[in-house]
Amino acid sequence: MTAVTADEDLKALADKASVELADATALEALEWTAGTFGNDFIVASNMQDAVLIDLATRVKSDVDVLFLQTGYHFAETIGTRDAVETVYPDVRIVDAQAAQSVAEQDAEYGPKLYERDPNQCCFLRKVVPLRNTLANYKAWVTGVRRVDAPTRANTPIVTWDERNGLVKVNPIAPWTDEEFRAYIDSRGILENPLVSEGYLSIGCAPCTAKVAPGADPRSGRWAGKSKTECGLHG
Ligand code: SF4
């Protein structure tokens, strides 16, 4: 079977599941993912919390978890990543790294590329490492929710990720903020300590600010710039 045929098969699978699982619960979507792809799927996490990881381990305790090691994370985010390994000992965390260290990037492009050209910085440190890691899988699972942003309002539970060439599953796409918080509280889910300090959408430290009470959670990402997305979910 050629790679193109495999991709066509996967796309057809995604299109069919997109209809059949349009109203699936998070666990139903994850059960379908584990049943369909076995070891060939990975769960992405920015280590803001372990909600998606917890859900995934309920259907596959040794699930692979993708973490983008950008080199710019808060210490608390790295600490949360390490805590996930302790709380979920069967999980395998896959650290996706850029080709260049931050020092090497600074030497080639100049320091603080994130201030001058955040799109290029995100491309080098997030988009490319993500694509390279996803090339090893047939599906990935994300924590994107429709309430995150207007650009995410129509996020399906299952879709075909054209850019990366694999199936994309968004099990908690329909969850409201209240449902999300209730899951954390009811199961005592691990959470990045920065959340309680007012960081409601956590990315790299230079590009993440606290969010004013009542403001859009993602307003703290690339504050003061027109950029609103890393380019991972476009
Ligand atoms: S979020 Fe900021 S520091 Fe992180 S990769 Fe993007 S531009 Fe660079």
Q: What is the 3-state secondary structure (H, E, C) of 134-187?
A: HCCCCEEECCCCHHHCHHHCCCCCEEEECCCCEEEECCCCCCCHHHHHHHHHHH
- 27 CA → ligand 1 middle, Å: 32
Q: In this model, does residue 4 exceed pLDDT 60?
A: no
Band of the pLDDT at 84, cuts 50, 70, 90?
A: very high
Of the chain, the percentage scoring pLDDT greater than 70 comes to 97
114 lines ligand 1 (CB under 6 A): yes
pLDDT tens-digit profile of 101-121? 999 999 999 999 999 999 999
Asked if residues 39 and 139 have their Cβ atoms less than 8 Å apart, the reply is no
Q: What is the residue-averaged pLDDT of the chain?
A: 93
127 lines ligand 1 (CB under 6 A): no
Distances (CA, A) of 121 to 76, 90, 125, 230: 22, 33, 6, 9
Instruction: State the chain's maximal CA–CA distance in angstroms.
Output: 54
Band of the pLDDT at 161, cuts 50, 70, 90?
A: very high
Q: Give CA–CA dist 78/94, Å, rounded.
A: 13
Q: What's residue 213's pLDDT?
A: 77
Span of 29-38, 160-169, 220-229 with lowest mean pLDDT? 220-229
Q: What's residue 234's pLDDT?
A: 64
- 118 CA → ligand 1 middle, Å: 6
Q: In this model, does residue 1 exceed pLDDT 50?
A: no
For residue 159, being part of any structural domain is answered with: yes
- Joined together, the tokens standing for residue 142 give 């994300």
Q: What's residue 210's pLDDT?
A: 87
- The whole domain housing 158 covers 10-220
For residue 229, being part of any structural domain is answered with: no
Q: What's the whole-number mean pLDDT along residues 137-163? A: 96
For residue 3, being part of any structural domain is answered with: no
Q: What's the whole-number mean pLDDT along residues 10-24? A: 97
- 227 CA → ligand 1 middle, Å: 11
For residue 46, being part of any structural domain is answered with: yes
pLDDT tens-digit profile of 171-199? 999 999 999 999 999 999 999 999 999 99
For residue 59, being part of any structural domain is answered with: yes
Asked if residues 138 and 38 have their Cβ atoms less than 8 Å apart, the reply is no
105 lines ligand 1 (CB under 6 A): no
For residue 133, being part of any structural domain is answered with: yes
Q: In this model, does residue 221 exceed pLDDT 80?
A: no
Of the chain, the percentage scoring pLDDT greater than 90 comes to 84
Q: Give CA–CA dist 18/29, Å, rounded.
A: 10
Q: Which atom, in ligand 1's list, is nearest to the CA of 203?
A: 1
For residue 103, being part of any structural domain is answered with: yes
Binding-site residues for [4Fe-4S] cluster, please? Answer: 121-122, 204, 207
Count of structural domains, the chain: 1
Specify the CATH number for the domain of residue 51: 3.40.50.620
Q: In this model, does residue 3 exceed pLDDT 80?
A: no
Q: In this model, does residue 233 exceed pLDDT 90?
A: no
For residue 227, being part of any structural domain is answered with: no
Q: Which atom, in ligand 1's list, is nearest to the CA of 205?
A: 3
Active-site residue flag, 230: yes
Q: Give CA–CA dist 41/141, Å, rounded.
A: 7
